[in-house]
């Protein structure tokens, strides 16, 4: 039985055939593919028909959901899948390297033995011409989801959805939290699925993650939603994973949250005032930082 499901929430046709071709090129074909068409103006049926031998299940939805509820689109695409133990939500323009599935099955005994629920493949960034945009982004073989979040916030790593493989049982038990644009979904889901524990770094293969003008245009078009999602990430971290960080880390994350609230005119939703938390995590010096920051912002044009 195939243990891996590739779930593709489809909307953009620009690189879609390249994505399917990357699955055609896999050295291990023990996977199933589920494609959910988010009422795209570009019908992919002809392309899909050329890869029908790849165990593809395809559904064209009657309504567009991704522009207002991207997580909802992911969920209804996952609902197309059957009982595969592991799920990879694959972007319609991303491409796993040809040994991606093979390496998944190679590491599976270790992952099962250690009870790990999330596997994170190395990332290769590619542009609109499928050219490499830099060196591969590798991950520690064993890292906690808490440290992965911390490194992401410090620009030491990058997180998208496509390079991750997660256990269906965790998804069915916990699901996804609701974020605008699904902006914080991957990071928070991996923390939830692992309870702050281990993620396995699969570095002998790569997920080619597309960075093109199309992606940037989409993000910039929904900037306000992204910023609300960014604030929600910090609110959940402070409410659910507070005890996983030390005071210096909490102060750093608080400064990030404070800045998001100011620049996008959002309301603090933490149970305590930000001024109080500055003092709690950083003492008098942090309180002074808060006061000076507020004065600076007050006189900014």
pLDDT, tens digit, 9 for 90 and up, residues 130-171: 777 767 889 999 999 999 999 999 988 888 899 999 999 999
DSSP letter for 137, please: B
Read off the pLDDT of each residue in 190-206 and give the average, rounded to a whole number. Answer: 96
In whole angstroms, give the CA distance from residue 189 to residue 175: 8
Predicted confidence (pLDDT) at residue 301 exceeds the cutoff of 90: no
| Per-residue pLDDT at 2 | 94
| Per-residue pLDDT at 292 | 96
In whole angstroms, give the CA distance from residue 152 to residue 210: 18
How far from 17 is each of 21, 89, 158, CA to CA, in Å? Answer: 6, 16, 25
DSSP letter for 161, please: S
Predicted confidence (pLDDT) at residue 219 exceeds the cutoff of 80: no
| HSE value, Cβ hemisphere, 13 Å, CA-based, for 60 | 8
| Per-residue pLDDT at 30 | 97
Check if the beta carbon of residue 231 is closer than 8 Å to that of residue 257. Answer: yes
In sequence order, what DSSP letters do the residues of 177-235 get, joined into one string? ---GGGTTHHHHHHHHHHTT-EEEEEEEEEEEEE--HHHHHHHHHTHHHHHHHHHHHHH
Query: Quick check: helix, strand or coil at residue 167?
Result: strand
Predicted confidence (pLDDT) at residue 212 exceeds the cutoff of 70: no
For 287, counting Cβ atoms within 10 Å of its Cβ (0-12 exposed, 13-18 middle, 19+ buried), the class is middle
Check if the beta carbon of residue 121 is closer than 8 Å to that of residue 107. Answer: no
Parallel, antiparallel or unpaired: strands 56-60 and 118-126 = unpaired
Predicted confidence (pLDDT) at residue 184 exceeds the cutoff of 80: yes
> For 202-206, 215-219, 262-266, which range has the lowest pLDDT when averaged over its residues?
215-219
Predicted confidence (pLDDT) at residue 11 exceeds the cutoff of 60: yes
DSSP letter for 63, please: S
Alpha helices in 137-208 (DSSP H): 145-153, 168-174, 185-194
Structure tokens that stand for 155 in this block: 């620009």
pLDDT, one tens digit per residue, over 13-69 is 999 999 999 999 999 999 999 999 999 999 999 999 999 999 999 999 999 998 888
Read off the pLDDT of each residue in 70-86 and give the average, rounded to a whole number. Answer: 96
| Per-residue pLDDT at 67 | 86
pTM: 0.92
Predicted confidence (pLDDT) at residue 216 exceeds the cutoff of 50: no
| Per-residue pLDDT at 214 | 55
| Per-residue pLDDT at 174 | 96
Query: Quick check: helix, strand or coil at residue 7?
Result: strand
In whole angstroms, give the CA distance from residue 89 to residue 136: 20
In whole angstroms, give the CA distance from residue 171 to residue 155: 27
| Per-residue pLDDT at 217 | 41
For 268, counting Cβ atoms within 10 Å of its Cβ (0-12 exposed, 13-18 middle, 19+ buried), the class is middle
| Per-residue pLDDT at 133 | 74
């Amino acid at each position: 039985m195939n243990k891996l499901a590739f779930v593709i929430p489809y909307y953009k046709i620009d690189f879609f055939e390249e994505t399917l071709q990357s699955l055609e090129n896999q050295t291990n074909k023990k996977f199933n593919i589920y494609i959910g068409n988010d009422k795209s103006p570009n019908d992919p049926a002809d392309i899909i028909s050329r890869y029908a031998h790849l165990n593809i299940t395809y559904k064209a939805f009657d309504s567009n959901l991704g522009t207002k509820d991207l997580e909802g689109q992911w969920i209804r695409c996952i609902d197309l899948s059957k009982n595969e133990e592991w799920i990879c939500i694959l972007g319609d323009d991303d491409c796993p390297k040809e040994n991606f599935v093979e390496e998944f099955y190679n590491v599976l005994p270790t992952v099962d033995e250690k009870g790990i629920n999330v596997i994170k493949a190395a990332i290769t960034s590619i542009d609109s011409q499928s050219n490499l945009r830099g060196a591969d982004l590798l991950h520690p073989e064993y890292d906690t989801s808490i440290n992965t979040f911390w490194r992401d916030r410090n620009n030491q790593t990058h997180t998208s959805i496509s390079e991750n493989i997660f256990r269906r049982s965790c998804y069915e038990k916990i699901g996804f939290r609701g974020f605008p644009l699904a902006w914080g979904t991957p990071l928070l889901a991996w923390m939830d699925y692992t309870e702050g524990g281990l993620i396995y770094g699969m570095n002998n293969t790569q997920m080619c993650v597309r960075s093109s003008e199309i992606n940037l245009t989409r993000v910039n078009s929904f900037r306000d939603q992204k910023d609300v999602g960014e604030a929600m990430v910090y609110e959940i971290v402070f409410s659910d994973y507070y005890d996983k960080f030390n005071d210096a880390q909490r102060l750093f994350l608080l400064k990030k949250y404070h800045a998001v609230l100011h620049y996008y005119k959002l309301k603090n939703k933490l149970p305590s005032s930000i001024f109080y938390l500055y003092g709690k995590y950083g003492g008098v010096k942090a309180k002074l930082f808060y006061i000076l920051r507020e004065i600076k912002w007050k006189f900014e044009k």
